[in-house]
Structure 1
Amino acid sequence: MSAAPDIICIGSVLWDVIGRTASHMRAGADVPGRITRLPGGVAMNIAMTLKRFGLSPALLTVIGRDVDGDALVAEAQGMGLICDHIYRSDDLPTDVYMAIEAANGLIAAIADAHSLEAAGDKILRPLSDGRLGTADAPYAGSVALDGNLTEDLLRSIATSPLFARADLRVAPASPGKAERLLALLGHPSATLYVNLEEAGLLCQTHFDDSAKACAALLTRGAHRVLVTDGGRAASEGTAGDVITAHPPSVLVTRVTGAGDTFMAAHIASERQGLDRRAALARALDAAAAYVSGETPL
């Protein structure tokens, strides 16, 4: 029998191929550094952090029945993540993300998440076939949802009875996919986790700080929202009430996965009973530890 999850993480689970250098880079630069391949993707990053906080997350995603897919599932199982409900495809390859990070930040990234998009609602079958829920008895726990899903699927989720009782936590995969979350702005239980740029894209404007962005998203119909702004103040708002906190100052050594770490730490903190201010502060501390390199990869 499958283990019962504390939370379901829906979205991209793939290999992260990351090149990092201590040098500053510009277009066309060729510098020494290190290249690593690690389990990644928004859903995977969130699940790994939730596990570190003592929760038992289950993954809903697509992974190919290829060598890379077998290795990725083995890595996830080795971390204690619940992989029983992953859709394994015979004809779709395992997705991959490639990024270059330098001393001056993220230089470039390409996300090849075409298999996740092609799989569509097949990854959600456990929520309807009785393994995790049904339309008549929907899953009533926490769900971390990744914006790598297609706009059509996100729109379907926004009105689906399968998510009617869920505590839905949502993050865009990147600024380029932020507008996909417009379908979930009016969802009655959705919490959106976005950065300042993504908040601006959702509101079709520019914000000077996270508090203003947070208030604007609430005005646009968001049930609850958290807005981060790198090393500057982050904000959380619900029912028109916005609170703000400042992250610790740290030396940034990596950026890929920082937002996912923040989101997972915030979810875990609330599940463990912390109040709004304490949960926001703990999430900022966790993200700072991650970007500084103190948190293990």
Structure 2
Amino acid sequence: MKRIIVLLVLLLQFPAQSQSYSSNLRRVSREIDKIMAITSDIIDGTMTYEKYRKIQPFFEEQSKTWRKSQRSLDRLDEAPEAELIAVVDENIGGLIEITQENLKYWFQEDPRSNYGHKYVDEAGNYLNAVLTAMDAYAVKYDVNTRTSDELERFQTQMELFIYTKEMKRGANEVDSLVGYLQSEVGSTDIDELYKAQKGLVKALSKELRGYGEERFFNGQTELHEAYQKYYIELLELASADILADLTKMRYDLVEFNSIATSTEASAKKTLSFFDNEMRLLNKREARFVKRNLPKAPKR
């Protein structure tokens, strides 16, 4: 008789526990959706090189929302939720930190650097770590989950980001070599400049070979073609005009033991073309991304 009573008690407790697990996960999901929605707004602005004044309110909103979410999640103090909440705290805390510090500085100081892509990558990693932990909790406690509009938007953003990231591969190597040439033009170490010019041509040639096969995004190749055009134009410049400038510098050094001001000015003017091309490419990328970004769900 006692066994039957114990079994009945256990059977009655099991649905209640399952309901509790489901309710707790829904609470976590709601709070993560709030953070995800604001982060997606920030990602939109980052990927389209938006003006700082337009994106700045989202920084404050993200931080404020997370503080409120923490108060809500602190109520989940039972052992089954402890591991999940720890993952949420660690990763959302990291997300807030890179937004409030690194990204804010990038928007204010250097919006043409590559940190925007790095931020989206890091933000995606933080949020995906939380989603993975939530999935693990759902499996462990047999909780049914659903896909939210916020999650679908975020996943679409990540697909678009992966495509733009693939288009941008190799650009860091090219940019670093261009940066070296720009900073060292006029130097008496012409051999090092020739070495950098040779490395630039090699890097550009490598990227062009990698772009032989078109890469589609939802049937579109516009961004692929923009990068291909970018690399072709830089390759032509690096293999012709830059070489001519460096050759003239070497002649100046041999003949006069110094580099003529006119030659240095010519080389700097030639290299400024790289900056202009990068700005144009950023604009093309921003337009492409803007057309393909998913619409934000109504709040």
Structures share a fold, TM > 0.5? no
TM-score when normalising by structure 1: 0.28
Structure with the bigger percentage of helix? 2
Larger Rg: 2
